[in-house]
Amino acid sequence: MSAGFTTERRKGPRVTLEQEVECRLELRTRVRLLDISVSGALLGADVNLPVGSRANLRSAIASTAFSPDVQIRRITDASSRNAAVGLGAQFTTMDDRSRRSLEEFLRKANT
């Protein structure tokens, strides 16, 4: 094989787009819940997400499903808590079941 030779692996031709097409790439990654409040949480992660990123957090707290939408508001060093990166996340929306689960969890944690 010569240095400039590569084998074509595509099944069909590639087409260059004339205009940019905005897409969304969903990323699944595990995070650890480091702390939580009524308005947000600190998540420990192995990947760094940019400030402003939006995601859906899925977990269970107080033995109930908890699935709020979050937005990353800050990045911190979480190495002291066994995570490469700390992601400060603000809750943006959540269903009633998640809200009740969070309120019950926080009420029990503060007693």
The tens digit of pLDDT for each residue in 77-95 reads 888 888 789 999 999 999 9
CB within 8 A of 44, min separation 6: which ones? 31, 32, 33, 34, 78, 81, 82, 83, 85, 86, 87
Task: Kindly state whether residue 22 falls inside one of the protein's structural domains.
Answer: no
Task: Kindly state whether residue 15 falls inside one of the protein's structural domains.
Answer: no
List residues bridging with 70 in a β-sheet: 55, 91
Find the CATH number of the domain harbouring 56. 2.40.10.220
Position 71: which residue type? Q
pLDDT at 17: 85
Task: Kindly state whether residue 39 falls inside one of the protein's structural domains.
Answer: yes
Number of domains in the chain: 1
Task: Kindly state whether residue 37 falls inside one of the protein's structural domains.
Answer: yes
pTM, full prediction: 0.75
For residue 105, how far is the Cα from the chain centroid? Answer: 21
Mean pLDDT by 10 residues, the chain (111 residues): 64 84 80 95 92 93 90 91 90 96 92 83
Task: Kindly state whether residue 99 falls inside one of the protein's structural domains.
Answer: yes
Task: Find the domain containing 65 and state its range.
Answer: 31-109
The region that residue 49 occupies, defined by phi over 0 for left and psi between -120 and 50 for alpha, beta otherwise, is beta
pLDDT at 5: 62
pLDDT at 102: 95
pLDDT at 3: 58
